[in-house]
Amino acid sequence: MQIKTGMIPFQKFQTAYRVVGDLTTGMTPLLLLHGGPGSTHNYFEAFDQLAAETGRPIVMYDQLGCGESSLPSDPSWYRAETWLAELQTVRDYLGLDRMHLLGQSWGGMLAIMYVCDQRPQGIQSLILASTLSSARLWAQEQHRLIAYLSPADQAAIATAERTGNFTGTAYVAANQHYMEQHATGPVTSASPAYLRRPKISGSLAYQTAWGPNEYCPTGNLKAYDYTTALAQVTVPTLVTSGTNDLCTPLVAKTMVDQLPNAEWALFAHSRHMAFIDEQAAYFDRLKHWLAMHD
């Protein structure tokens, strides 16, 4: 399978991209928007298998502030407007006039803002993977999930939230337990190479735009709420999530209930990345969806 990487000029920076497959074949490409902000494209290399099985070109990139892209030290760059402009720049540079768009976690928020606010042309379908339409609801649901942790972990998280100190040993351990249950497990020698490979995570981007963790949105996205706006989205939309996901069934259903042209795939054995936890089932569902909406 052909893989092409390179850099796209974006304002005074550079955006690193990776294309799997051939964009000139005529098959509608799938553009992937990673989470975080700051999580890098690495875990999306799971989609190489989808490209190999179908011949569909897959495009991914590291958003500004992480991975192989530029890493500005000025936090004022880390806001929705920057990443929306970068998304359009990537589309223009690679000639993605017609495409499917998949956003996972924060990437889904970015996709929602892009579709709602910019009304772009050429989006054949939208896949909202383990994402959200309301920061407030997300925080509410994370705190509901925290109540299932051990009393010690609950106390450590409550203390960190009360004091604003998210560096203590007990808090770090509690947050790790939480993320292992609902996001992703620890990377081991048995993990795929794309998960084991060292990467530059965008901690400044994450803290500036979102906050110290998944359940305390204190950054510039804390007022994010596009739930009502979803009613304007006429693009066919597939919402995907896992039963043990940070994107709880309530978060997912809130989006599905508002979207006028949506389907929901709930994966019974998955956390925040169903395309990792249940890869075969996820790609079977996605292949059918993409073929229907080409």
The Cα 103–Cα 44 span in angstroms is: 11
Phi, then psi, of 186 in degrees rounded to 5: -65, 145
Sign of CA dihedral 180, 181, 182, 188: positive
CB 157 within 8 A of CB 171: yes
Helix 135-146 × helix 249-258 angle, to 10°:
160
Which of the residues are catalytic?
Answer: 105, 245, 272
